[in-house]
Amino acid sequence: MNSFFGINIGVRALTASQVALNTASHNISNASTTGYSRQVVSQKASQALKTGDGSGMVGTGVSITSIIQIRNVFLDYRYWDQNSNYGEWSAKSGTLSTMEAVMNASSDNGLADTLNSFISSLEELATDPGGESARSSVTAQGESFCKYLNNMAGTLQDLLDDCNNSIKSKVDEINSYAKQICALNQQIYKAELDGSTANDLRDQRTVLVDKLSAIADIEVSEVSAGILSNGKADLRFCITINGTNLVNHFETNELECYKVSDGSESDGTYAVRWAGTGNDVTFSGGEIKGYIDLCTGTGAGGEYKGIPYYMNQLDTFARTLAKAFNEGIYSDGESYCSGHAGGVGSDDSTGTRFFTYDGISSAELMESGSDMDSIYANITAANISLSSDVANDVDKIAAASVSGEAENSDNLSGLLEIFEDSGVFANGTPEDNINSILTTLGVAVSYSTQMESSGKNVLDHIDDNRTSVSGVSTEEEAANLVIYQQAYNAAAKVISVMDEVLDVTINSLGANW
């Protein structure tokens, strides 16, 4: 045991205290850094030495084993799992709430109110069949009703396009995060080859995985592929989507979007596949799952009721009402009245259709298909309009049942009964059908909002638990600074005392020799 043994112990203590002070300072500096995990210095007593006379062992001071991050991996996995669920319902809730606002489910000027205004104008005309003003009111309210449907369908199409574009945007984000994670994997691997732990780089990677988990339902694993030369496990970090690797340590598999063109109702929407193999990707959660469901959900066969479902419902409403009003044919295919085409205008015209599409004439409408079903299949909520016959000449409105009777409103009375007949639609009157659509949407909004809220509560709870484990307490670190400072001062005192001892031993005692 040499004369500098005591100084070596002091230096070890000084070094350990200095590293602890630096680590505490690093923690305080990153107290507000997103995803940062608190770090602590792990140390142990260094190996003791046996005394020469066999009386025991003499301690050699302290050794720093590692600087570790305080993190609960189990909570990370729970967070990623819940985050994909929250991401899915957050996307759905936001879009469905916008749809509900568009369709004015609870406003005073919604679809039902617009329809009622049209009905009121017909009732006014029934009291004055020959009145020019009343006839003009019918065409104005009819046109307003058509334009309301047109605007509603257009807005839903815009929402569909936005959701469709969001799918592509989310795929680009997934690819970007995958590349960034892959780059960090390489940096982490190189930094840890000597047995160190790349704490800050691992925190950066976790933040990216947090963001990625909101977009897609991912599976994360860090598995050992062997043992490194330093004796530690050779860890490989992988992320999979539905069983296929997105990130395989140093490699990434990119996703790509393509537009569906198989003749289905999903035509024009984006689907996602693996760029390398061309195999389609099925997502089970995350924002991208929400947007895909919103873009493709027709409600058929138990599928999710997305934007196409409500667009189809509006189209069915428009063409069924047009057929019933024009022809007197209800949704069951049976004829119950003569319809507008069976009535007589004040100019003795007959065979005039009130509703067509894109402003075409009655004749053009009837030439657009081979039978009634194919003819009225051309009418949608986006293109329903007044026929050019009625729009250009209010005398074409067929209020009478026979010609030559200007004050006859018998046909108009039959048309008004359509709006009270529960057989027009399979689920009731025209207003019942509107209410059914809005009720279905309202239930969907309520459910998605509830799922989003409950998912957010669970996610916040998990994140609070993560923070309680990994977060930095500035008060605790300030207290640690005092402890480490005192330890540093004490270690410095040890070195000072040992220096004095050596000074006396070497210089003072040596002078007397």
pLDDT at residue 173 above 90?
A: yes
Contact 361, 387 (CB under 8 A): yes
**Range among 257-266, 271-280, 400-409 with highest mean pLDDT value:** 271-280
Asked if 115 contacts 434 with a C-beta cutoff of 8 angstroms, the reply is yes
Whole-number Å distance between alpha carbons of 260 and 59:
73
What Å distances lie between residue 240 and 213, 219, 291, 407, CA to CA? Answer: 11, 5, 20, 75
pLDDT band at 513; cut points 50, 70, 90 = very low
Calpha distance 449→438 (Å, rounded): 16
**pLDDT tens digits, residue range 26-49?**
999 999 999 999 999 999 998 888
pLDDT of 443 higher than 50: yes
Model pLDDT for residues 363-376, shown as the tens digit of each residue: 999 999 999 999 99
pLDDT averaged over every residue in the chain: 92
Q: How far from 464 is each of 27, 215, 460, CA to CA, in Å? A: 18, 21, 6
Pairing type for strands 244-248 and 251-252 reads antiparallel
Does residue 432 surpass a pLDDT of 80?
yes
Q: If phi over 0 gives left and psi between -120 and 50 gives alpha, with beta otherwise, what is residue 302?
A: left
At 497 the pLDDT is 87
pTM above 0.85, yes or no: yes
313-344 pLDDT tens trace: 999 999 999 999 999 999 999 999 999 999 99
Using the predicted structure, report yes or no on whether residue 286 has a pLDDT greater than 50: yes
Structure tokens at 481: 């600074």
Number of C-alpha atoms within 13 angstroms, CB side, residue 84?
21
Hey, how many other C-beta atoms are within 10 angstroms of the C-beta on 262? 8
pLDDT value, residue 441: 93
Q: What is the pLDDT of residues 378-431, one digit of tens each?
A: 999 999 999 999 999 999 999 999 988 878 899 999 999 999 999 999 989 999
Helices (runs of H) and strands (runs of E) counted in the chain: 14, 12
Give me the mean pLDDT over the 158-174 stretch.
96
Give the best-scoring range by mean pLDDT among 51-55, 65-69, 416-420: 416-420
* CB within 8 Å of 312: residues ≥ 6 apart: 265, 298, 299
